Amino acid sequence: MARLTSASRAKDKTLKSKATPAETVSPPISDLAALPRPVAAIRDKILAACATGDIEALRIPIDWNEVRPLFERGAKHPAGTDPIEILKSLSFDKKGREILALATAVLAQPFVKITRGPFVSYEWPAYAHAPTPLTNEAELRGVWSCVRFADLARSNAEGKPHAMRLNVGADGVWHYFWSED
């Protein structure tokens, strides 16, 4: 059995003391003027692509990133799979129309500002990250407009629907657009 030296014990103690930065989440924000310019720009590009009704138009905002955004958790497709093909496969109609409608619905909702140490990002819809009680029928419809057809019968631990989430860093990098599971 190897003995720990005082130097290795000190190093181990230092590693354990470095905690993950605390996450702070803002209350839901509806004012788009509160978005940093790069975040507003990628949001506008995504919405413009969705407005065309053609999933191929999403290539422009996808390729704006140096690294492509993630569209599902885990390695469900081989590396290098065309992101448009992934989006089509996730869409109920297999042509991407559902994904375009979901992205539009998600970006129409209030958002939250998430801060983890020096990293700041913005996530839509606000209730998916920081669930708050829904106060009216319009909010309830907003929640359901962000749920994929394939996820309608599923719910999370709190009994709420699995909503799609879209996250963009403060620098305008689109990180992900995926279901809440």
> Domain boundaries in the chain?
22-179
pLDDT category of residue 158 using cuts at 50, 70 and 90: low
Q: Mean of the pLDDT values across residues 112-123?
A: 96
Alpha helices (runs of H) in 52-136, residue ranges in sequence order = 59-64, 83-90, 97-107, 126-129
For residue range 21-67, list pLDDT tens digits in order. 789 999 999 999 999 999 999 999 999 999 999 999 999 999 988 88
CB atoms within 10 A of CB 180: 18
pTM score, whole prediction: 0.83
